[in-house]
Amino acid sequence: MDTPHEPRWLDDDEQRTWLRTLAMIMRLMPALDAQLQRDAGLSNFEYQVLAGLSESEGRTMRISLLAKMAEGSLARVSQVLSRLEKRGWIRRMPDPEDGRYTLAVLTDDGFEVVRRAAPGHVETVRRYVFDPLTRAQVRQLAAISGRVLTAIDPDENCF
């Protein structure tokens, strides 16, 4: 019979780092949401979906890939796409290459929404994430984030 292993408790430095990282993540997303709601009437998730489409070839993407890119479930992305479709910012169509898939297509009106929202969003990201850091710290943050993401999902190629 296996004996339970003693948990690998966090030491004081790890505990402090974990709590700061958790607080940063928990506070950053509402701050981004607040700015986008105030300035563009969008949630951060809606913006990520629209921005992802705006940067894809032909402003078109399979909904399953869009969900992966936006870090959301297929159900959540479908709900958001329904709201965006009602506003005339996206449309859905069958994938002509494989009818089992559905494509989301960013309309011209949707692209205009992204174009208007992007400057305020990037300024908020810059103010909260990049302005407090040195260039070396930015590179460290990228490396650290990459390592954590790889630990979470080794098969996923994250950025």
Q: Give, for all 159 residues of the chain, the pLDDT tens digit.
A: 566 788 999 999 999 999 999 999 999 999 999 999 999 999 999 999 999 999 999 999 999 999 988 888 899 999 999 999 999 999 999 999 998 999 999 999 999 999 999 999 999 999 999 999 999 999 999 999 999 999 998 887 655
pLDDT for residue 2: 62
pTM of the model: 0.86
Cα–Cα distance, 39 to 42 (Å, whole number): 8
User: Rounded CA gap, 104 and 115, in Å?
Assistant: 18
